[in-house]
Amino acid sequence: MEKVKLAVVFYSMGGTNYQLAKWAEEGAKEAGAEVRVVKVQELAPDSVIEGNEGWKNTVEATKDVPVATGEDIEWADAIIFSAPTRFGNMPSQMKQFLDTQGGLWATGKTVNKVVSAMTSAQNPHGGQEATLLSLYTSMMHWGAIIATPGYTDPVLFAAGGNPYGTSVTVGQDGKMIEDVQAAVKHQAKRTVTVAEWVKKGNQ
């Protein structure tokens, strides 16, 4: 069987979700997947970004990362989304990307994609679970197969125990509070494994 093709689609303002995306890439490659890491298009004006040092640094750090397109979604057997929470929802940048995939959805090209999601917030109860659920709602409309981590490995408890997807709290200094690297990699491997099952079943 050919390798599972995984797209890791992220939006990052302070660098956290870019790091989560890179860990997901590592985990998926360890599981034998072919991986594309892509960022959604930034919508905020340069004047706003320029006034925020962390945001500006992230834009610079990710300047060579390709911008996500519908072709990445069509190519992928599986997709991991990673985005911070915005008032308990996904950021507008991620929402716009999903909203512009109507053509793929209408032609049935989002059906049976295996999907999973990760997020971050400044507070443990700052909307992390709600953000993942908001993303998964769109995925239900896509006809995608949602592969959450649940409690499938003890590493999830060390990361805060979010069964919907890995989530991390980020302190005022911009550093992650929980140690989530192992949880992210486990989630990526689980997503690849489920995609393998689906791929085999379709052959």
Domains recognised in the chain with CATH numbers: 5-202 (3.40.50.360)
Q: Which residues pair with 84 in a beta bridge?
A: 120
- The percentage of residues in the chain with a pLDDT greater than 90, rounded to a whole number, is 93
For residue 203, pLDDT beyond 80: no
Q: Which of 73, 66, 83 is nearest to 5 (CA)?
A: 73
Instruction: Report the length, in residues, of the chain.
Output: 203
pLDDT in tens, 156-168: 998 999 999 999 9
pLDDT in tens, 16-36: 999 999 999 999 999 999 999
Q: In 3-state terms, what secondary structure has residue 198?
A: helix
Specify the pTM. Answer: 0.96
Distance CA 3, CA 31 (A): 10
Which residue's entry shows tokens 């992928």?
Answer: 76
- DSSP H or E segment with residue 74: helix 70-75
The predicted structure's pLDDT at residue 139: 98
The predicted structure's pLDDT at residue 192: 98
